[in-house]
Structure 1
Amino acid sequence: MRIISGLYKSRKILAPKNLPVRPTTDMAKESLFNILNNTFYFDDVSVLDLFAGTGNISYEFASRGTEQITCVDQDFGCIKFINKTAEQFDMPINTIKSDVFKFLEKSTLQSNIIFADPPYNFDEDKFGKIPELVFKNNMLLPEGVLIIEHSKHTDLSKLNNYSHSKSYGGNMFSFFENA
């Protein structure tokens, strides 16, 4: 994977092959950040990266100047890799090793941007639990956005607080906002 823009532009990060991840493609990531760039100043936002995996999305935010980034993943190998990479590049990334749903049920953390990249094989109920918990626990700051990455074969448009979706190849980003 590579960082697309910012301080660490074009840097390649090689994740261990044994991590249980499916990193967001460069094309999809670049498109997502083009959208976000029109709405947010990256140095003024806080980011919560759920199902963080390799930390791919968090590195992109850090490279663009975001100072408050929290990654949540249940896999120790992923958390260890994110910590190592963040330290190597001196990125302001905090990690939490936890099941994402347990974290969402108990957390009081509020963020401008919450990005979730759960396994594509989740059933619709599991996908729906993400925005349900985020909005129930008031985790999204005013004018913030929850973005869920999923397969183009999954339709999240009937979920509460759904705003719109964007499709990039086989990847889809669904956006959720405060009503």
Structure 2
Amino acid sequence: MSVIKNVLGQRAALVALLVCAMLALSACGKKNLRDGDDMPMAGMGDNSDQGMGMQSGRDIDVRGLEGIDPADRAMFTDPNNPLSTRIVYFDLDSSAIPSRFSDAIQAHARYLSQHPNVKLRLEGHTDERGTREYNVALGERRAESVQQALVLSGASASQLSTLSFGEERPAELGSSESAYSKNRRVEFIYTK
């Protein structure tokens, strides 16, 4: 019984630590704003949760766009531009890219082919179900699937790299299908 309490206590401490880390990271994602301003930095995601990326004429740095020329960043934050879709979401236990992401894949491949010095890291993620080893492998397969689609659409393989975090960096904490669906993803990170 004490072993169970010890394990549960360690798990609760880990969850608390993760929640604190997520809150700290979320606080880092906001720019110091003047009184009266309440617009946070534009985040990554599909078109439904993208901000415009501009505030009072000031360009807001967006995570994952560090390798993009500041003059081009508006294309990546305009919700009407397919480049603003910088996360591909996947079905459970799948690395097949849903067809709804075809326009975004083609737009990113076209941008990469027109900018041969730009580098893109594809970060694969999973939900918490499955073993750590399985999830790291699934995250890698997802990232490689997006990499292959970009190359087939015109991007150079030398511009692309993949990295899998498995279940280690959830976009949303929780054990609901809503949280799981946000965690099964590949994020596009443009690097310098």
**Is the structural similarity TM-score above 0.5?**
no
TM-score band w.r.t. shorter chain: 0.3 to 0.5
With CA pairs under 8 Å and 6+ residues apart, which has the higher RCO, 1 or 2? Answer: 2
TM-score (norm 2): 0.34
More helix by share: 2
